[in-house]
Structure 1
Amino acid sequence: MLVVPIVSGGGGGVGGGGVGKGGVSISLDCNYAKGKWVIDNHRPLYSGFGCKRWLSGSWACRLTQRTDFAYENLRWQPKDCELEEFQRSKFLTRMQHKTLAFVGDSLGRQQFQSLMCMITGGEEMQNVEDVGIEYGLVKPEGGTHPHGYAYRFITTNTTILYYWSSTLCDTQPIDPTDPESDVAMHLDQPPAFLQKYLHKIHVLVLNTGHHWNRGKLKANRWVIYINGVRSTEKELAMIWRAKNFTVHSVVSWVNSQIPKYPNLKVFFRSISPRHFVGGDWDTGGSCNNTTPMSVGKEILEEESSDLSVASAVKGTAVKLLDITALSQLRDEAHLSRFRMTPNPAAVQDCLHWCLPGVPDTWNELLFAQI
């Protein structure tokens, strides 16, 4: 079984005091990563048939051929404390005049969409304004979609945004005049978006992981750069070392910025697990379970199974949002073979999650710590 954390100096996080479910006091110091999944018939937090403005149709499993939805009725219960119950009004009040930004890959986008659905309850709200242009999040010329999204809840002046940065390092075409140019991955530089807009952000949630493989580097024509030149270091030619270098680099950079912005809270979300069985996504791998492996199991370990992120944040002001082990127990909650349009030949998706679903819990843990 995977293991999970509180990492001193930046680990499991410190939640705010308050009252949890049933009037139980919420601990000020809680390792939310330890615990178990329990059935809660008051779930989900929003309808899988609704939230059409925010939720991608391909991730709304209620709109597919899936017929089992027990995965929607599980709630994460920390072992030694209560998890603060998510309330829309409380979240917006807590984030009044503030901006929360998710920066990462498609799992970060799932967490962003989940939060938008949780705040709105999946219902249409007229007082939500698209403010993407304020963050340069507009569709580029010749592009099919922007590099992210930003929306503002007008009544509380709360902005929620997502920016696509699958590797959390700055990427720039080596020859901007050539559409077929290789792309420099500057492992020692944070994304240009963060460099430009960090001063506008109050809560930042970072993530990376699944794009660090040979296939992605080749498909995207990514070339590793350090100190502004192409890297010749043999160690960084190993993808996992390049990823670890980048994770430590971006944590070090953002930690150096926190003294300039004392109201900034930064979280690094640990990696979301894959559940392919019998192969990978392109070699017949599947995830057909409907009964989660979480039944009767409890996470008790103190240390995170995402060693790369845990070691990077240790001793910094960046907090670890540790979701790896608790998500590892939820193999039944992926998109699997289900699609909006039946396609028996389609590969199974055992990486992304059905929504409502597991990413809602990631946001509950985040809410308890901001």
Structure 2
Amino acid sequence: MQEYGVSISYFRAPFLVDVDVMQGKRIVKLDDIAGNGNAWRMADVLVFNTGHWWGHEGSLRGWDLIQSGGKYYQDMDRLVAMEKGLRTWANWVDSNVDITRTRVFFQSASPDHYNPNEWSAAATATTAKNCYGETEPMKGTTYTSAYADQMGVVNEVIREMHVPTYLMDITMLSELRKDGHPSIYRGDFSPSQRANPQKSADCSHWCLPGLPDTWNELFYTFQKLKQHVDDNNRRQVLALYGNSGNFNHPWYIVDNLGWHVAEWSLGVVSREMDSQGGPA
């Protein structure tokens, strides 16, 4: 984007921490992030994310061994592993990010929709096994998330960080969009894959144009809102930080100082408060 003087880079690090290959084995190093961190040092805006890969099993699992505390493990409790990795990432941010230059965001988990029991009480009486054939979003704002435990870990780690780190909670609004996946309509699917939706449907990635555009709009809105807040020396105060695992709330961005920074209803900034808690 030379006309705007902006460079946008995608750095693939599904666990945030380093993954090394030794004697043909992939090793997730929960205590080491130096290699990945070298790619992040000079950025003006950093947007981090991790989630899906901590739960993969079988051939989809992204490691052969886990290294932690100088020991090697075939596996461990995935939430424990994720928390260890996140704390290594948080320590790197606190030690290496210049807050006068760089703004740090963490985007919450993007959900998949492979289990109809999560959104339909009648699913057990049907042959549905995934998002194939879903054409409408779920209704309401209450949903039992498969990522509630992960969100609890993310909330706790970010709350304890020293560098201002803004959590973009896109999980709830994305949970409702069981209709937003490419399903069997991915461009790289073969005719045989398309003929077998129960096995092949992609219910993890998202269609474009589609839901990720909403994430980007929220991110852009926050950038503008944050500039307005900085210019006017205001702090957005909507509610105390917390609610980990509780999805009975609007969609929001929070910072790790303990306050919501922005709150949305259907993707629109709904209200703003000054540092005294009154309307802005």
- When normalised by structure 1's length, the TM-score is 0.49
Alignment of 1:73-112 (within 5 A): none
Task: Name the structure 1 match of 2:177.
Answer: 330
CA–CA separation in structure 2 for the residues paired with 1:255 and 1:208? 18
CA–CA separation in structure 2 for the residues paired with 1:168 and 1:217: 20
Change (3 A) 1:217 1:289: closer
- The C-alpha deviation readout for 1:93-141, integer Å capped at 9, x for no partner, is xxxxxxxxxxxxxxxxxxxxxxxxxxxxxxxxxxxxxxxxxxxxxxxxx
* Deviation of the 1:333 alpha carbon: 0.8
Q: Following TM superposition, by how much is the alpha carbon of 1:309 offset from its aligned partner in structure 2, in angstroms?
A: 1.4
Shift of 1:368: 2.0
Alignment of 1:300-339 (within 5 A): 305=148, 306-316=151-161, 317-339=164-186
| Kept in 2: contact 1:273–1:351 (CA 8 A) | yes
Structure 1: how far apart are the matches of 2:135 and 2:29? 42
Task: Name the SS for the 2:172 alignment partner.
Answer: helix
Q: Out of 230, 252, 266, which is 2:104 matched to?
A: 266
Matches of 1:360 and 1:292, distance apart in 2:
16
Does residue 285 in structure 1 map to residue 132 in structure 2? no
Unaligned runs of 5+ in 1: 1-152, 176-180
Partner Cα distance (2:54, 2:92) in 1: 20
Which has a greater percent of strand?
Answer: 1
2:71 is the counterpart of 1:230: yes
Supply the distance in 2 between the matched residues of 1:255 and 1:217 (Cα, whole angstroms): 35
Identical pairs, percent: 29
Do residues 369 (structure 1) and 210 (structure 2) align? Answer: no
Change (3 A) 1:166 1:216: farther
Correspondence 1:1-370 to 2 at 5 A: 153-175=1-23, 181-190=24-33, 192-193=35-36, 195-213=37-55, 215=57, 220-227=62-69, 229-231=70-72, 237-258=76-97, 260=98, 262-278=100-116, 285-287=129-131, 288-294=133-139, 297-298=140-141, 305=148, 306-316=151-161, 317-340=164-187, 342=191, 343-346=194-197, 347-370=200-223
**C-alpha distance in 2, partners of 1:359/1:182?**
34
Structure 1 match to 2:275: none
State the distance in 2 between where 1:298 and 1:278 align. Answer: 17
Whichever residue aligns with residue 324 of structure 1, its letter is T
Q: Quick one: which amino acid aligns to residue 78 of structure 2?
A: I
**1:24-51 CA distance string (max 9 Å, x none):** xxxxxxxxxxxxxxxxxxxxxxxxxxxx
**Over aligned residue pairs, what C-alpha RMSD do you find?**
2.9
Aligned residue type for 1:335: P
Asked if the contact 1:285/1:348 (under 8 Å) is kept, the reply is no
Residue-pair matches, total = 201
Deviation at 1:203, TM superposition (A): 0.7
Residue 236 (structure 2) aligns with: none
How far is 1:284 from its partner? 7.4
How high is the TM-score relative to the length of structure 2? 0.63
* Kept after mapping to 1: 8 A contact 2:30/2:68: yes
Pick 1 or 2: higher relative contact order, CA cutoff 8 A, min separation 6: 1
The one-letter code matched in structure 2 to 1:158 is: V
